[in-house]
Amino acid sequence: MTLTITALTLDLDDTLWPIQPTLHRAEAVLQDWLRTHAPATAARHDAPAMLRLRLEVTQRHPALAHDLTALRLITLREALTASGDDPALAEPAFDVLFAERQRVQWYADVQPALERLAARYPLLAVSNGNAELAPTGLSPYFVGVVNARGCGVAKPAPRIFAAACEALQCPAAQVLHVGDDWRLDIVGARQAGLHTAWIRRPEAALHHGPTHPDEDQAPPGLHLHLDDLLALADALGA
């Protein structure tokens, strides 16, 4: 039987750009804003304290685990209230953080690879995060985005991959999902019936440590293990 790939879905954070430098910078910008507009909150909740509070909020609101925006807003409101500042400042504070969160720096291979891939396949972003494509500068290469907040569930839930296939109007057996996270992207997509490409960048392996998933245990289908997106374009003949 000839394998036919007619569309690609792609993860965003840590697949197209490194997310940790972006988040660290966004948190720093938020702290600067709070020092001006909510100094009591800034004094009481530095970035590590804000992270601890957000983890507590996440544990208290498991139904919102897929909605990072809602969790951020609740965290900010609680921090402001506990510090005696106006909780209405949560929305403008989040806007500052969110705008900075969109200022990503693509991996060097991303733009040339997307140019090649988009010329051959419709590309759809599938993300658990709350990045928006337009501010990143990559929206011309994509036909759309499916994210956890809009879908109501996060990867690796089969429903988000089913929603992606529906948006593409393609059966799962003809879609290749591309991502960096073994459990969320690869196992999740393959259990939903998609083919997969695991992008395991050498610098990511160096930073996060080696992982050795049992690739033989994944469901049947095409599975590629590649260093970057240019290698994917080569593998697909794009």
Q: Enter the DSSP assignment of 128.
A: S
Q: Is the pLDDT of residue 209 over 70?
A: no
Percent of the chain with pLDDT over 70: 91
Check pLDDT > 50 for residue 1: no
- Report yes or no: 131 and 12 within 8 Å, Cβ to Cβ: yes
The CATH code for residues 7-17+106-236 is 3.40.50.1000
Looking at this protein, which amino acid is placed at residue 64?
Answer: L
CATH number (1.10.600.10, 3.40.50.720, 1.20.120.1600, 1.10.10.60) of 20-101 reads 1.20.120.1600
| pTM for the predicted model, two decimal places | 0.88
Looking at residue 178, what is its pLDDT? 97
CA distances from 194 to 3, 52, 198 (A): 12, 36, 13
Instruction: Report pLDDT for 218.
Output: 54
pLDDT the model gives residue 179: 95
Give the tens place of pLDDT for each residue, 210-237: 455 555 555 566 788 899 999 999 999 9
Check pLDDT > 70 for residue 205: no
How many Cβ atoms from other residues are within 10 Å of residue 191's Cβ?
Answer: 14
pLDDT at 31: 96
Domain limits, the chain: 7-17+106-236, 20-101
| Residue pLDDT, tens place only, 122-181 | 999 999 988 889 999 999 999 999 999 999 999 999 999 999 999 999 999 999 999 999
- When the pLDDT of each residue in the chain is averaged and rounded to a whole number, the result is 91
Q: Residue 66 contacts by C-beta under 8 Å, 6 or more apart in sequence?
A: 128, 148, 149, 151, 152, 153, 154
pLDDT given at position 2: 47
**What pLDDT sits at residue 125?**
97
Residue 203 dihedral angles phi and psi, to the nearest 5°: -70, -30
Q: What is the reported pLDDT for 131?
A: 84
The rounded distance, in Å, linking the Cα atoms of 167 and 144 is 8
The 3-state DSSP class for residue 214 equals: coil
Q: What is the pLDDT of residue 210?
A: 47
